Each structure stands twice: as C-alpha cells, then as structure tokens.
Structure 1
Amino acid sequence: MPGLSIIVAADDARRLYAALETAMASAALGRPARLFLQGDAAALLRAPVRFAGDAPRRAAGQPTLAQMVEEAAAMDVALIVCQSGLALTGTAAGELVPQAQAGGLVSFLAGLGPGDSLIVY
C-alpha cells in the first residue's frame, strides 16, 4: 500500500502538530507514514516536547503536542530527525524524545516507494 512521507521544514510547532495529525490519519487508514524534521525543525523533538499552543488545545479537549508524538509513534508513524538539523540546533541525538531517530534526507527520500505521497509543511 502506498505510504505518506512528510517533511517538516520549519521550526514551527503548529506545522509539526498538523503534520502529526496528517500522518496519524494516514496510519489510521492503514497507510504507512513517516515524518522527517529538517533543519531547525529538528529541535521540535527535543525532550521534553513543548508547545505554547498546548493550553488552548487541552481546553478544547485536544491532545498536547507531546501526546501527539506519543500517539503517532504508537501508530507506527516513523519520526526521523535530520542529522544536519541536530548539528544546526546544537541538539544531541540523546536529547530527542525516545520515539525519534536521527537520519539523513537522502536515506529518507530513498525510502519513498512507488505511489507514495510526499508533503512538505
């Protein structure tokens, strides 16, 4: 079944939240999903994950960004953080949430299969 690959290309937690929602919806439909956090977006998965928009989301009965990361990983959404982005943001791989792994853009793109969709946030 074709998969969904998403690149988060900006240090913007709102974009990561939207990308996680999209990936989780794809996974719920039985399609494999992967997220790649590129450049300065790598810092978004530094533990503990925080988002200024968490309070209004909680008030509306929605999960926090940290909860979304946990739920996405539980749904087998792969969370890959750019190795160059880690260097750019001064983040060590050991500082990432345990659900994330470091990787490169070339290997991420090499993992695209025939018929896969690629979205950039």
Structure 2
Amino acid sequence: MRGLSLIVASGDGARLYAALETAMAAAALGGRVRMFVQGEAVALLRAPAGFAGDAARRAAGQPDLAQMIEEAAAMEVELIACQSGLALAGLTAGDLVPGARMGGLVGFLAAMDDEERLVAY
C-alpha cells in the first residue's frame, strides 16, 4: 500500500478524530502513515488529549480522542506537531501527548516520496 500523509489544519477535534480514523485504517492496511498537526490544531495534542465530542463517543462505545491517539501511536502512525503551532498555543514539546514529536512543514513535505498520497483535514 502507498504511504499516506495527513495534514490537520483545523482546531476542530472532530477533524483530528476523523484524520486519526483514516490514519489507523491506512496503517492497518500496511501503509506508512504520517500526520502533521498544524497551527491551532496543535492545541488538541496537549496532554491529556480531549475534545468536546469525547463524552458522546464514550457513550456510544467508541474510543475518545486520547484513546485514538494512543492506538494510532501503537500502530506506528507518526504524529508530528507543527513547531509554529506549538508557539501559537503556548506549548512546548514536553506538553504533547506521548508519541507526538515536534517538526516543521518543510521537513514533513520533504520526507514524502513520489508515490505517497497527501490528504488535508
């Protein structure tokens, strides 16, 4: 399976959740998956992770955002937090959820190969 790179550019927790679902599905199919969380969206990676939709998801028997991030990391989905987004949110790398690392958009794009797909949320 071709690799998949995802960019999450919105601070909407539902978008990050959907991107994680897509990332995990691609990882389950054997593809390399990377997520770049950009701008205001980086605040969603503050430990402990969560968003307003978590209670409804738990009530429906679905994992919450923190569980999704943990499961994605266990599936080797790379989670990269934008350096500029960290500054915007007043965060440091130490504030991030386990498994997330800091990086820049140029490095993220430079690491793509010619066969990799790019999706933005």
TM-score, length-scaled by structure 2: 0.97
Runs (5+) with no aligned partner, structure 2: none
Counterpart in the other structure of 2:65: 65
2:6 corresponds to 1:6: yes
Equivalent position amino acid for 2:34 in 1 = R
User: How far apart are 1:2 and its partner, in Å?
Assistant: 1.9
Can you give the 5+ residue segments of structure 1 that lack an aligned partner in the other structure? Answer: none
CA distance in 2, matches of 1:51, 1:83: 21
Structure 1 residue 89: Cα displacement: 1.0
Task: Determine the C-alpha separation between the residues in 1 that align with 2:48 and 2:112.
Answer: 30
Who is 2:118 aligned against?
118
Identity %: 68
TM, length-normalised to structure 1: 0.97
Could you say what secondary structure the match of 1:40 adopts? Answer: helix
Equivalent residues of 1:5, 1:119 under 8 A apart: yes
Task: Indicate the residue corresponding to 1:106 in structure 2.
Answer: 106
Query: Counterparts of 1:7-22 in structure 2 under 5 Å?
Result: 7-22=7-22
How far did residue 88 of structure 1 move? 1.0
Q: How many residues in Structure 1 have an aligned counterpart in Structure 2?
A: 121
Structural RMSD (CA): 0.7
What do residues 1-58 of structure 1 show as CA deviations (whole Å, max 9, x unaligned)?
4200000001111000000000000000001111100111111100010111111111
